[in-house]
Amino acid sequence: MIQNKRVEMMSLKKFSAASIVFLLMAFLAGCHRGESDSSLDNLNVQLAKVEPASQQERAAVNDAISQSRRTAITEAVKKVKDAVCGINVTQIREYVRSPFYFDDPFFRFFFPEEIYRKPVKSLGSGYLISSDGFILTNEHVVHNAEEIVVTLTDGSTHNAKIVGQDYISDIALLKIDGQGYPYIKLGDSDDVMIGEWVIALGNPFGLFEINAQPTVTVGVVSAVDRDFGRQPNDRVYQDMIQTDAAINQGNSGGPLVNSLGEVIGTNTFIYTGSEYNFGSIGLGFAIPTNRIKRVLKDLKQYGEVNRSWTSGLKVEDITPLVARYFRLKNPYGVIVTEVERNSPAAHAGLEVGDIIVEVNGHKVRSRSDILSIIEDEDLRGGDEIHLSVLRQGKKLQVTLKLEKLKE
């Protein structure tokens, strides 16, 4: 009997313990559920508070995007593009025609070669520099032109005439009739900075004719003061601006513009790396505006550039006898044999017997060297040259101002 009571007590204890555990678990589960429900309710509240952007906010974002598109480049293009024009030229070129396919002196004697002229179409670019229709371009664009037709960005076409052209500097000035044209001002090419953004505008491959709009390419100023000197065709390219903005056939004569919309040069030629490659490889060159300004005044007034000058100085090449007389260790230079009274040479203080060994930093070995230096640097009456002179064994620096020849 006692044993049975113990069993019942133990069973009761087990049941009570189990009941307590069960109730505790149920209570905890209820608490956890309550917390979860509460968290979900909070989440729903928070999600309900996330609303789509207002119309005002969307407008502000769109405005910010639009503003980011309006860069200095796009503003400069907008400022100058309407002054750019396409140029179509009919040139007359001379060809030599032989009556035979072989070159034999005997046949040439009895059957001389014939020279015939043939009209050829070509194209280029230009830009208006005044409201009354003056247009700048390269001389090689309009060289030997019989007819010049200019297309403006409004789609209108105009016959142009050559006001003046300078073969050496490769600059030409054209004129179309009318008033009120958009135009670009020439900037200061001496203010150009290497690495600054530049824009080339023009008519590559005649694309201007499609919708009367110039092609725009962008790059930087790669270098300045590139001197190529006198070319085999006698053109002289000095102080050129180098750029990696894409320049192609037809771009010649178009403007090179800085990010302020100022013309700093006229696109003139490119290096292609091969005679079989006609496209841009990032080596383009432009004539600087300050060089153009020197030419422009003469073209407008006279139709050409007058490079005649006088110095009032006569020199002779140094012979071995002269070199021995003056005890010259390195016999180069020219000797002054005459100085005219009241001449630029006399005002500069040059004397008979002076030996000129350098002109503008270039060594002089003959009279022809002096002429070549002056021509290559496009100097004329009114310009100064700097001479290194030997006088009685001492080296002097003399500045000589060239004088315009009187007409």
Cα of first residue to Cα of last residue in the chain, in angstroms, is 156
How many whole angstroms separate alpha carbon 326 and alpha carbon 185? 55
For residues 96 and 114, the answer to whether their CB atoms sit within 8 Å is yes
* Catalytic annotation, pick one of 169, 222, 252, 311: 252
Active-site option among 82, 140, 376, 388: 140
* Catalytic status, residue 252: yes
CA–CA distance, 22 with 31 (Å, rounded to integer): 14
Catalytic (active site) residue 347: no
Q: Quickly count: other Cβ atoms within 10 Å of residue 40's Cβ.
A: 10
Which is nearest to 397 in space by CA: 384, 386, 406?
386
Tokens of residue 18, six digits: 């189990």
Among the listed residues 170, 244, 298, 378, the single catalytic one is 170
* CA 65, 66, 69, 73 torsion-angle sign: negative
The answer to whether residue 103 is catalytic is: no
Give catalytic residues, as residue numbers: 140, 170, 252
